Amino acid sequence: MKKLLALLLTAVMLLALVACGGNNTGNNGGNDTANNGTSDTGDTGDAGAVDIKIGVICVHDENSGYDMAHIEGITTACEELGIDMANVTFKYNVAEDQKCYDAAADLADSGCDIIFSDSYGHQAFMLQAAQEFSDVTFVACTGDQAGVAGQSNFKNIFPYTYESRYVSGVVAGMKLKELMDAGTVTDPKIGYVGAYPYAEVVSGYTAFLLGIQSIVPEAYMEVQYTNSWFDLTKENETALALMENGCVIIGQHADSTGAPSAVQAEHEKGKEVYSVGYNIDMLSVAPDAALTSSQNVWSVLYKATLEKFIAGEEIPADFACGYAMGAQTISALGSACAEGTQEAVDAAWAGIKDGSLNVFDTSKFTVDGKTVDSYEVDFSIIDFNTGDVVFEGPVVNVIENGVFQESVQRSAPYFDLRIDGITELN
């Protein structure tokens, strides 16, 4: 009796589910009209409002500085374009696996016209969804395959992060110079908490060191990877280890406040150490030790993309822009910053804007003791396990007029040269 009842109940429940699942057209149609009905009432109310539905897939939620930057970016862009936030659906804590495809497909089902994802690892799943929903545009932020994937409704956007990295390096350089002039520091050693040994990270820390070297030419750097984008404890420990090694300034390309907190703690013990953050203002966790943070202004990229989308223009497969368009900034300077820092920062921004300052000027760095005259990058996407070419891309010499042309051939960074003066510890 007991098992019979259980069996029956189960069978009924499963049947009901599967039956509903199989009934493709009937149920779906019903739901779609229901959904449209609710959203339409909102739209028709104020004529002239932009009538598009946007989906956003976030790898974490507002507790992560990185995702917060994206959430704010979308919100600002929508405000400026007059898009009602009721038309924007966020999906939070979407891991970089099948769940991303599920989320993307679900957003497309619910009638989204354009769908963004904020993390690199979402890309493959966004592409998969793009192949299935050809009338929906999928934008994978920080991705690197759209240019060569040949899927017309699949796009990538990425800001010129290296610019704000460089300028935050200038801030760090000014502080380093002050400390060396005062005689408190003799060894200009920089530490960097990196996430992964990936071009995006390499490009970032190289720009950071070049910014420092523009003030203190003899500065050099040690990089240690945490192999995670977000790991409070590991970033904290890595920063401690670097300070133990004698690093004076700790930069980071990882999303938590682990490193700045560690630097603040050491600073309070009387050690002359300072921190440069990423994404979010670190003054709240390191009021004495934080100098500044390099920041992306994602709203600029979102706005540019949405503007084209609304106007019905072709969105470039790959879009990148920087300070000149307002997509780069650094956070408010900390009280520990050296005198004259603001002026140096302004000068650097001005140089970047008018083109007189190139971050990756080949005369400013060497590889194995030699200046780099030409560097060929293969933009094909290769399956690293089989060695097969997934998407054929061009091979391009990215050094032009004595400058490494970062984020020009493709929005995602490809500067992966290991320049002299930087040591990777792991």
Partner 1 sequence: MSTVRHSEPLIRLVKRDGISRSKSWGIRIAAVLLALLLSGLFIYSVTSLNPVDVYKAMYEGALGTTRRRWITIRDAMVLLCISVGLAPAFKMRFWNIGAEGQILMGGCVTAWCMLYLGASLPTPALIVLMAVVSIAAGALWGILPAIFKARWGTNETLFTLMMNYVAIQITSYCVALWENPSGSNTVGIINQQTNAGWFPALFGQTYALNVVIVLVLTVGMFAYLKYSKQGYEIAVVGESHNTARYAGIKLSRVIIRTMAISGAICGLAGFLAVSGVDHTISTNTAGGRGFTAIIVAWLAQFNTFIMVLIALLLVFLQKGASEIASQFNLNDFASEVITGIILFCIIGSEFFINYKLIFRKKKGGAKA
With vertex at residue 26, the alpha carbon angle to CA 25 and CA 31, rounded to the nearest 5 degrees, is 95
Q: 180-219 mask for partner 1 (x: CB under 8 A)?
A: ----------------xxxx-x------------------
Which residue lies nearer to partner 1 by CB, 173 or 194?
Answer: 194
Pairing outcome for strands 376-378 and 395-397: antiparallel
Specify the 3-state DSSP secondary structure of 222. strand
Cα separation, 405 vs 185, whole angstroms: 35
Nearest to 332 by CA among 299, 298, 274, 287: 287
Amino acid occupying residue 68? M
Q: Decide if residue 86 touches partner 1 (CB under 8 A).
A: no
Closest contact distance (angstroms) between CB of 93 and partner 1 is 6
By CB under 8 A, what part of segment 61-80 binds partner 1?
61-62
Q: Residue 408 and residue 142: Cα distance in Å, rounded?
A: 14
d(CA 264, CA 289): 5
Provide the 3-class DSSP secondary structure of residue 129: helix
Residue from the set 24, 41, 356, 363 that interacts with partner 1 by CB under 8 A = 24
Asked if 93 is part of the footprint of partner 1 (rule: CB under 8 A), the reply reads: yes
Name the one range near partner 1 by CB under 8 A: 5-13, 182-190, 333-341, 356-364: 5-13
Smaller CB distance to partner 1: residue 5 or 47?
Answer: 5
> From CA 157, how far away is CA 126, in angstroms rounded?
13
Query: How many whole angstroms separate alpha carbon 279 and alpha carbon 329?
Result: 10
Other CB atoms within 10 Å distance of the CB of residue 72: 15
Q: Which is nearer to partner 1, 353 or 391 (CB)?
A: 391
Q: Using the rule CB under 8 A, give the single segment among 14-22, 44-52, 158-166, 179-187 that binds partner 1.
A: 14-22
Q: How many helices (H) and strands (E) does the chain have?
A: 12, 19
| Residue 105 lies near partner 1 (rule: CB under 8 A) | yes
CB of 301 to partner 1, least distance (A): 22
Spatial separation of the C-alpha atoms in residues 96 and 228, rounded to whole Å: 13
Query: Is the Cβ–Cβ distance between 110 and 122 less than 8 Å?
Result: no
Site string for partner 1, 123-142 (x = CB under 8 A): -xx--x--------------
- 254 phi-psi bin (left φ>0, alpha ψ -120 to 50, beta other): beta
Q: Of 17-25, 178-186, 286-294, 362-370, which segment contacts partner 1 by CB under 8 A?
A: 17-25
Q: Which is nearer to partner 1, 138 or 323 (CB)?
A: 138
- Contact flag: residue 386 with partner 1 (CB under 8 A): yes
- Single out the residue of 53, 70, 91, 410 in contact with partner 1 (rule: CB under 8 A): 91
- Residue 250 near residue 87, CB atoms below 8 Å: no
Q: Per CB under 8 A, does 385 bind partner 1?
A: yes
CB of 17 or CB of 332, closer to partner 1 = 17
Beta 249-253 vs 274-278: how paired, if at all?
A: parallel
Asked if residues 151 and 131 have their Cβ atoms less than 8 Å apart, the reply is yes
When asked if residue 37 is in the footprint of partner 1 (CB under 8 A), the reply is no
Q: Which x/- pattern, by CB under 8 A, does the window 334-373 give for partner 1?
A: ----------------------------------------
Residues in contact with partner 1 by CB under 8 A are 1-3, 5-7, 9-10, 13-14, 17-18, 20-24, 27-28, 31, 61-62, 89-93, 95-98, 102, 105-106, 109-110, 120-121, 124-125, 128, 196-199, 201, 227-228, 381-386, 388, 390
